[in-house]
Structure 1
Amino acid sequence: MGFADDHLIPLVDAGLGNSSYLVDLGDGRALAVDASRDLRALRRAAAARGLTVAFAADTHLHADFLTGAVQLAADEGAAVLASAAGRRSFPHTALGDGDEVDLGGLTLRALATPGHTDEHLSFLLLDDGRELGVFTGGSLIVGSAARTDLQGADRAEELARAQYRSLRRLAALPDATAVWPTHGAGSFCSAPPGQERTTTIGAQKRANQLLAAEDEDAFVAALLGSLGSYPAYFDRLAELNRRGPVLLPTAPGLRPLTPAAVRDLLADGAVAVDARPIAEFAAGHLPGAFCDPLRPAFATWLGWLLPPDVPLVVVLGPGQDPAELAWQAAKIGYDRLAGQLAGGMDAWRADGGPTETLELLTADRIGDRPVLDVRQDAEFAAGHLPGAAHTELGALADDERGAADGTVVMCAHGERATTAASLLAARGARDLAVLAGGAPAWARATGRRLEEGGR
Structure 2
Amino acid sequence: MRIDVTSLVDGGLGNSAYLVDLGDGRGLVVDASRDLRPVRAAAAERGVRVAYAVDTHLHADFLTGAVQLAADDHAQVIASARGHREFPHVGLDDGDEVDLGGLRMRAIGTPGHTDEHLAYLLLDGQVPVGVFSGGSLIVGSAARTDLLGAERTDELTRAQYRSLQRLTSLPDDVVVWPTHGAGSFCSAPAGGRRTTTIGAERAGNPLLAAPDEDTFVAALLGSLGSYPTYFSRLSELNRRGPAVLDVAAAGRLAPLPTPAVQQLRDSGAVIVDVRPVADFSAAHIPGAISIPLRPQFATWLGWLVPPGTPLVVVRNPDQDPAEVAWQARKVGYDQLAGELSGGMSAWRGAGVATRSIPLVTAGQLPDIATGNPEILDVRQDSEFRAGHLPGARHVELGALAGRAAGLPTRPTVVMCGHGERAMGAASLLARAGRTQLAVLTGGPQDWSSATERPLASGA
TM-score range, shorter chain: over 0.9
**Could you give the per-residue CA deviations for residues 274-294 of structure 1, whole angstroms, max 9, x where no partner exists?**
000000000000001100000
Aligned to 1:57: 54
Query: What residue in structure 2 maps to residue 431 of structure 1?
Result: 436
Post-superposition Cα deviations, 1:213-235, rounded to whole Å, max 9, x if no partner, equal: 01000000000001100000000
Alpha-carbon separation, structure 1, partners of 2:169 and 2:190: 25
Residue matched to 1:394:
398
Residue 299 in 1 paired to residue 319 in 2? no
Residue aligning to 2:68: 71
- Name the CA distance, whole Å, in 2 between partners of 1:249 and 1:108: 31
Structure 2 residue aligned with 1:375 = 379
Q: Hey, what's the Cα distance between the residues in 2 that align with 1:15 and 1:146?
A: 17
Paired position in structure 1 for 2:149 = 152
| Whole-Å separation in 1 of the counterparts to 2:190 and 2:215 | 22
* Preserved contact between residue 28 and residue 54 of structure 2 (Cα < 8 Å): yes
Q: Structure 1 residue 193: deviation in Å? A: 3.9
Q: Aligned pair 1:174/2:163, yes or no?
A: no
How many Å apart are 1:157 and its aligned residue? Answer: 1.0
* Structure-1 residue corresponding to 2:13: 16
Q: Which amino acid aligns with 2:174?
A: T
Distance, in Å, in 1 between the alignment partners of 2:212 and 2:30 is: 32
SS in 1 for 2:439: strand
Do the aligned partners of 2:13 and 2:296 also contact (CA within 8 Å) in 1?
Answer: yes
Secondary structure of 1:43's match?
helix
User: In structure 1, which of residues 238, 259, 283 is the aligned counterpart of residue 235 of structure 2?
Assistant: 238
Correspondence 1:422 to 2:419: no
In structure 1, what is the Cα distance between the partners aligned to 2:407 and 2:309?
22
Residues matched between the structures, number: 451
Match of 1:208 in 2: 205
1-structure distance, mates of 2:262, 2:210 = 58
User: Which residue of structure 2 aligns with residue 324 of structure 1?
Assistant: 323
Deviations 1:294-329 (A, max 9, x none): 000001010001111110111001300010000000
Q: Which amino acid aligns with 1:360?
A: L
The aligned residue for residue 99 of structure 2 is 102
CA contact (8 A) 2:11 2:183 kept: yes
CA contact (8 A) 2:13 2:299 kept: yes
Aligned 1:233-272 pairs, distance under 5 A: 233-251=230-248, 252=250, 253-272=252-271
Question: Match of 2:112?
Answer: 115
Contact 1:35–1:67 (CA<8 Å) still a contact in 2? yes
Per the alignment, residue 450 of structure 2 pairs with: 445
Deviation, 1:406, is 1.3
Cα 1:403–1:304 change in 2 (3 A) is farther
TM-score (norm 1): 0.98
1:313 aligns with 2:326: no
Tell whether the 8 Å contact from 1:9 to 1:23 is kept in structure 2 after alignment: yes
Contact kept? 2:108, 2:121, Cα under 8 Å: yes
* TM-score, with structure 2 as normaliser: 0.97
Letter aligned with residue 451 of structure 1: A
SS at match of 2:58: coil
Could you tell me how far apart the structure 1 residues matched to 2:408 and 2:425 are? 10
Which residue identity lines up with residue 282 of structure 1 in the other structure?
S
8 A contact 2:188–2:223 mirrored in 1: no
- Secondary structure of the 2:400 match is helix
1: distance between equivalents of 2:190 and 2:145? 19
Flag structure 1 segments of 5+ consecutive residues without an equivalent.
Answer: none
Give secondary structure in 2 for the equivalent of 1:348. helix
Hey, what's the Cα distance between the residues in 1 that align with 2:402 and 2:55? 32
In structure 2, runs of 5+ residues without a counterpart are none
Aligned match of 2:347: 348
Question: In 2, distance between residues paired with 1:148 and 1:35?
Answer: 21
C-alpha deviation, 1:194, in angstroms: 2.0
Deviation by residue 1:127-156 (Cα, 9 ceiling, x = unmatched)? 001000000000000000000000001211
Is 2:276 the partner of 1:281? no
Counterpart in 1 of 2:409?
404
Structure 2 CA distance, aligned partners of 1:109 and 1:348? 57
Residue 26 of structure 1 is matched in structure 2 by: 23
Counterpart-to-counterpart distance in 2, 1:255 and 1:405: 40
State which of 187, 191, 194 in structure 1 corresponds to 2:184.
Answer: 187
Q: Deviations over 1:35-81 (max 9, x none)?
A: 10000000110011110011111000000000000110111111110
Question: How much is the aligned-residue C-alpha RMSD, in angstroms?
Answer: 0.8
Matched-pair contact (CA < 8 Å) for 2:139–2:190? no
The one-letter amino acid of 1:440's match is Q
Contact kept, 8 Å, 1:315 with 1:344, in 2: the verdict is: yes
Q: Structure 1: which 4+ aligned runs deviate by more than 4 Å?
A: none
Q: Is the 8 A contact 1:403 1:424 kept in 2?
A: no
Q: 1:217 aligns with which of 201, 214, 218?
A: 214
Distance 1:424 1:271 in 2: 15
* Matched AA of 2:121: L
